[in-house]
Structure 1
Amino acid sequence: MNRIDQLFQNKQKDILSIYFPAGYPKLGDTLPTLQMLQDKGVDLVEIGIPFSDPLADGPVIQSAAKQALDNGMSLQLLFNQLRDARKSITMPLILMGYWNTVYKFGVDAFLDECKKTGIDGVILPDLPLEEYTEDYQSKFEAAGVHNVLLVTPQTTDKRLSIIEKAASGFLYMVSSAATTGGALQASKEREEYFRKIAALEIPSLIGFGIHDKASFQHAASFSNGAIIGTAFIKALEKGQANEFIGSLS
C-alpha cells in the first residue's frame, strides 16, 4: 500500500505535514532535514522542487527556492540525493513543484525516478486537471504515485465533484486565495468551506497560513491535519528547525 494511504488509514486527525525546498539552506541539507523531521515525529513531508518562478508561493519560499537553485539544486540531483533515503526514512514523501520542471525532465523518466526513490505522491499546482486525467493519470496510477490535487474557496461545487473523482491520496485544501506565507484568518465563510471539503470521502490537509501550534490546531479541527511551509523555512534559515518542530507538539 502507498505510504500516504497507510498514513491516513492509521491516523485520521492532527496529521502534520512539513514543506521545505530541496537543497536549502545548503545543497546537502535535504536528507539531514528529512531525518530530523522524522525523528521529531512529523507525519508527512513535502519536498519542494526549486523553481525559478513559483507563482503560488510567497516571498519566503521564493527566496528559499532561489537560494536552492543558486546552490546548484536540480531535479536530477534531488533524485540522486534521495537514492538511499528509504534505508532510514519510512514516512510518506511528496515532491511538490511546477509542471514545467517535470515536463522538461520527462514524465516517464520522472515517474520512474519516483518509483526508484520511494516517492509516494506529487503536488503539481499548475498541471491542468483535464490534461492530467486525459494524458497522464494512467501513468501516475501505474507507477503508484498519487497526484495530490488542490481545492480553494473559489472552487465551485461542479468543479469540486470533478476534482474529487480524479483525486488520490488526499486533497490539498488551500485556505485562501493568496500566496503562501500569510496568516490564517478565521471567518464563518472559511470554516464553511473547510467543513464542505472535510465532508468528502477523500482525506484533506489544510495549507497556506499555518504557522504555529495554534493555527495548526485550528486548521486540524476542520480536516485531517495541516501543512506548514513558510514558518518552517524561516526556522531553517535561523538554525532553529528542531525547536520549531518541538513547539508544535
Structure 2
Amino acid sequence: MEYTKITETPSNHNDLEKMDSLSLLRKINEEDQKVADAVAEVIPQISKLVDGLAERFEKGGRLFYIGAGTSGRLGILDASEIPPTFGMPHSRVIGLIAGGDTAIRKAVENAEDDRVQAWKDMMEHHITDNDVVVGIAASGTTPYVLGGIADAKKHGVLTAGITNNPGSPLALAVDIPIEINVGPEFVTGSTRMKSGTSQKLALNMISTALMIRIGRVKGNKMVNMQLSNSKLVDRGARYVSEGLGIDYAEAEKLLKKHGSVKAAIDAGR
C-alpha cells in the first residue's frame, strides 16, 4: 500500500545545530502551535469514539489503549490518571505497551514488531466484545498495534486508531480512525514531539469527555477524585463547602466521613 508517511518527511527547519537556544525554542514553539489546530480537525471522529465508549461503559465495558514507545507510554499515562482524577477502578481504563512494564522506562528491542503479543496482553485482562480498543501509533504501521487491532476486530470489539499518518494501515484497519496530520517534526522523524503532543491532547479529550458523559464530574468539579493527599482533601472540602453552602470546617468533616465530594454533598442535602 502506498501513502505519504508524513511523520518521516523532512523538517521545515534546517541546520538546527547552528541555532542558538533562543532560536531553537522559538522554532519548536512555532511548530507546536500547529498541533491544536490539527487536533481540532478530527474532533468529529473523537466524538464518535466517545459516544461508543460511553454506551459500552454504561454496560460495564472498558477502554484499552495499546501502543509502543512514546505512543504506548502516553496511553499508560492517560490510563493511570483516571483513578485519582475520577475515582474509577484501575481495571476500567487499561494502558498496554509493547515490551510490558519494562518498556515504560527503557526501550525493549523488537517488542513493537510482535503482531500477536498485544492480543495476548489484552487476554490477560479477559477482554470482551463489550470493551473498546484504541491503538496509538504515530506511524500507523506498528505491528504490535496492528496485530492487536486485527485480533480485537475478529472478536467483535470496537476499535479506534490514533495516528499521524492519514491513510496509514492503522487508519484503514480500525472502525474509527483518528488521523491527526501535524506535518513534519522539528527534528525529522522524531514523533515524540508534535505527534506525541497531538496524541496527548486527543487522549485527554477522549478520557475526560468519557468520564463526564458517565457522570464522574458534577458541574465542572472532580467530585469523585481520590483524597490521596492534603492538597486534594483541601480542594474537596472547598467543593463541599461551595456545594452545600456550609463553612469549611464542617465541609471538611463531612468529606472525611463520607470519603468523596459527591458522597459528602449527597449526604449533606
TM-score category (smaller protein):
0.3 to 0.5
Instruction: Point out the structure with max Rg over C-alpha.
Output: 2
TM-score (norm 1): 0.34
Structure with more strand by fraction? 1
